[in-house]
Amino acid sequence: MLEKTKDDFFDRLALLTEQVLTQRCRVRRIKKEKQKTKNPLLDWLEAFIWAAGVVLLINQYLFQAYQIPSGSMIDTLLIGDRIFVNKVIFGPELLPGMAKLPSPIKPKRNDVIIFENPSYISRGPAFDIAQRIIYMLTLSLVDIDRDESGEPKAHFLIKRAVGWGGDRFVLEQGEFRIRFAGEHRWIREREFNAQRKLNHRLSRLMDAGDYPALEAAGKAMAYMDVGLNAPPNLVRTAAATLRYPDYLAREQARLEVLRGAYPQDTRYRMLFARYTQGWYVPEGRILPLGDNRDNSRDGRYFGPIREAKVLGKGSIIYWPLGRLGPIR
């Protein structure tokens, strides 16, 4: 009796196995028949949509490709470098330009970060989403967001996170001094970087010897603003041709003269104070600066940005191959 029961069990198991295998063969055969009758164009389109979806998911939530458009981060990043940005580390956006997912990891001082340009003027959410999808699908090769001259607009900026909540910065001839939160001592940025063994290079296009001519040019501009002829000594000093002027230093010199010419005008006093008192970074914000200090439109112009606006961290240079490696 026991033997008969075992035989019945194995017979049923064999029958079930045969049915399953037969069904699998039938499904495969039907699939192959459908594949034969399928339009090759539709087949190609399906494959493209699937691949595009994978690229979009990777770019949106994991790693996104960007091309460096300017020299503001020389020598860390060069014009034309193509990089991957880690999007997941600080919490990716749910949709391009939409709310971000939370992350326990926050940006750290000295990170190379990417964020939306505070000065960028949007053409509408539909265009922004379309632009970012096309940009991601083509791995940064195609950017439809261009200005009147045909150049890509600076929708996103890549800078170094230098200032943190509670820090104060002042500029002296293009060089920063920093007073960190809770401290009373000022320290030069280069000295701080050397102490911490930070290996990125701060590039300058101007020499210290260029500043007398630059400041004289700013003061001469102020005389023109008030309808007066500049003193001859200022004109002679300002005659030097400067290829890379430090706009902030020139503007400080101009405002110094205007403040003296119009002592009753609080506007000039307030504008001049911005340069002499420097930049304060509120809590929850970051002061982003370019490594190429004389050629960077950064936090010195638009101020500190909110930590929540940081979209990712520069991770790897993948092109050109000669520069392949991590971003530091």
Q: What are the DSSP calls for 107-146, one per residue?
A: --TT-EEEEE-TT---S-HHHHHHHHHHHHHTTTS----B
Q: Parallel, antiparallel, or unpaired: how do β-strands 82-86 and 168-172 relate?
A: unpaired
Q: Parallel, antiparallel, or unpaired: how do β-strands 156-163 and 112-116 relate?
A: antiparallel
| pLDDT tens sequence across 172-219 | 999 999 999 989 899 999 999 999 998 889 999 888 889 999 999 999
CATH 2.10.109.10 domain span(s) along the chain? 65-203+282-323
Low-confidence ranges of the chain (pLDDT < 70): 1-18, 20-21, 27, 29-39, 241-242, 244
Q: Virtual CA dihedral for 127, 130, 135, 141, nearest 10 degrees? A: -80
- Which of the 8 DSSP states describes residue 94? S
Q: Are 57 and 278 in contact (CB under 8 A)?
A: no
Q: What are the DSSP calls for 241-270, one per residue?
A: --SS--HHHHHHHHHHHHHHH-TT-HHHHH
Cβ neighbours, 10 Å, residue 314 = 25
Q: Are 238 and 328 in contact (CB under 8 A)?
A: no
Nearest to 290 by CA among 231, 202, 225, 176: 202
Whether omega before 75 lies within 30 degrees of 0, making that bond cis, reads yes
Q: Are 74 and 203 in contact (CB under 8 A)?
A: yes
Nearest to 163 by CA among 309, 304, 287, 73: 287
Length of the chain: 328
* Alpha-carbon gap, residue 296 to 206, rounded angstroms: 13
Question: Which pLDDT does position 2 carry in this prediction?
Answer: 44
Token representation of residue 135: 């940009």
Nearest to 134 by CA among 149, 150, 123, 145: 145
Q: Where are the beta strands (DSSP E) in the chain?
A: 63-67, 82-86, 112-116, 156-163, 168-172, 175-179, 187-188, 279-280, 285-289, 305-306, 310-319, 325-326
Token representation of residue 37: 């009758």
Q: Report helix, strand or coil for 325.
A: strand
Q: Which fold has domain 65-203+282-323?
A: Umud Fragment, subunit A (2.10.109)
Token representation of residue 86: 């880690």
Question: Which pLDDT does position 10 carry in this prediction?
Answer: 56
